[in-house]
Amino acid sequence: MKENKVSRVLKDQAIWLVFIVLVIAFTIANPRFITMNNLLIMLRQVAVWGIASVGMMFVILLGDIDLGTGSVITFVNILCAKLMVEFGVNMYLAVLISLLASTLIGLLNGFMVATIGIPALIATFATQTAFSGIALIMCNGQPINGFPEKFSVFGAGWVGPVPIPVIIMIICFIIGAFILNKTYFGRYFYAVGGNIEAARLSGIRTGRVKYLVFALSGFFAGLAGIVLLSRTNSGMGNAGLGYEFKVITCVVLGGVSVAGGSGRMSGVVAGTFIIGALNNGMVLMNINTWIQDIVLGIVLVLAVGFDCIQKKRQAN
């Protein structure tokens, strides 16, 4: 047991170690990297992914996946923008309606997965395809802008020296950790992800757990969409294109097993920060876009591969 704890902390640290190594490397390459200002900017850049990654983590814990995240972000982007600009809805109400809508899309995924029994990969891919079409129809492919001045607070505001999107992200991480470790339904996520049949026969309403998790994933994606909208100050019909994979990358880098049933919030935080550092640092280092792709692929393989090899060694 003691040994277990030590090895767990070590494993957690491993991914943080990667982060630290990256930070050192980038700092050597360009000392500007380590400035407080740049670090905060870096966090602001990943805030959208970080927020969405909380919901995605829950889904992956169940052993499922949510490919709809990107479309939800786009959809919310357009919906909220349209509500404010075309229908003159009050900004807070618009945000509320948008979050509600994104949660409903999550519930739709939950319905398809839990009630109909469609594999999450397929169900959420269908959601992705359909809702990206819907968002484009809604905005007619045109950007929407001209929001109330105050709306930019979510994505571009500051509290003292800290950007508000970063604060939102950190709150989301804390809520995520609280749900997973302290609440009974958080424990159910692990149970359902680990052995759904056992969970069901123990009286856990596994269907409800799935609904809840997909709804939460929708909600966090929606929140991410709002922050994105406020940050760019303009709604676009392809704003969230491809975001699901960025978010999945954050979660998986953080050591959450795609097989479901295991993973910790702190890992996801590290995963998100690593992606942030890479994106930010490589631009500071003047690395070509295409090489950035290659580096990203390699880092992903190394991080996850290292984890896998460790687990294999442990198992023997």
Q: What are phi and psi of 6, to 5 degrees?
A: -60, -50
Residues whose CB is less than 8 angstroms from the CB of residue 109 and which lie 6 or more positions away in sequence, other chains included: 66, 68, 120, 123, 124, 127, 214, 217, 218
The reply to whether 284 sits near other proteins by the rule CB under 8 A is: yes
Distances (CA, A) of 167 to 47, 125, 143, 183: 9, 31, 27, 23
Q: Which of 183, 298, 308, 309 binds other proteins (CB under 8 A)?
A: 183
Rounded to a whole number of angstroms, the minimum distance from the CB of residue 38 to a second copy is 25
Distances (CA, A) of 197 to 133, 192, 203, 224: 36, 8, 10, 33
Are the CB atoms for 167 and 159 separated by under 8 Å? yes
Q: Which is nearer to a second copy, 90 or 288 (CB)?
A: 288
Rounded to a whole number of angstroms, the minimum distance from the CB of residue 259 to other proteins is 9
The rounded Cα 105 to chain-centroid distance in angstroms is 16
What does DSSP assign to residue 32? G
Rounded to a whole number of angstroms, the minimum distance from the CB of residue 63 to a second copy is 10
- Per partner kind, with CB cut-offs from 5 to 8 A, the member of other proteins, a second copy, none near residue 287 is other proteins
- Per partner kind, with CB cut-offs from 5 to 8 A, the member of other proteins, a second copy, none near residue 97 is none
163 bridge partner residues: 158
Residue 58 corresponds to which tokens in the numbers above?
A: 């829950």
Q: Which of 9, 20, 90, 146 binds other proteins (CB under 8 A)?
A: 146
* Biggest CA-to-CA distance, the chain: 63
Stretch that binds other proteins, among 27-35, 100-108, 122-130, 296-304 (CB under 8 A): 27-35
- Per partner kind, with CB cut-offs from 5 to 8 A, the member of other proteins, a second copy, none near residue 162 is none
- Quick one: residue 143, left, alpha or beta (phi over 0 = left, psi -120 to 50 = alpha)? beta
Q: By the criterion CB under 8 A, which residues form the site for a second copy?
A: 65, 112, 116-119, 121-123, 125-134, 136-137, 245, 248-249, 252, 257-259, 288-294, 296-298, 300-301, 304-305, 308-309, 311-312
What is the Rg, in whole angstroms, of the alpha carbon atoms belonging to the chain? 20
Residues whose CB is less than 8 angstroms from the CB of residue 125 and which lie 6 or more positions away in sequence, other chains included: 67, 68
The reply to whether 297 sits near other proteins by the rule CB under 8 A is: no
Rounded to a whole number of angstroms, the minimum distance from the CB of residue 265 to a second copy is 19
Q: Which is nearer to other proteins, 116 or 149 (CB)?
A: 149
Site string for other proteins, 102-141 (x = CB under 8 A): ----------------------------------x---xx
142, exposed or middle or buried, with CB in 10 Å at 0-12, 13-18, 19+? exposed
- Per partner kind, with CB cut-offs from 5 to 8 A, the member of other proteins, a second copy, none near residue 258 is a second copy
Residue 124 corresponds to which tokens in the numbers above?
A: 């959420």
Q: Which of 198, 294, 302, 308 binds other proteins (CB under 8 A)?
A: 198
Chain positions contacting other proteins, by CB under 8 A: 1, 3-4, 7, 30, 32-33, 35, 37-38, 41-42, 44-45, 48, 136, 140-143, 145-146, 152, 156, 182-185, 187-188, 190-191, 193-195, 197-205, 228, 231-234, 236-239, 241-242, 261-262, 279-280, 283-284, 286-292, 314, 316
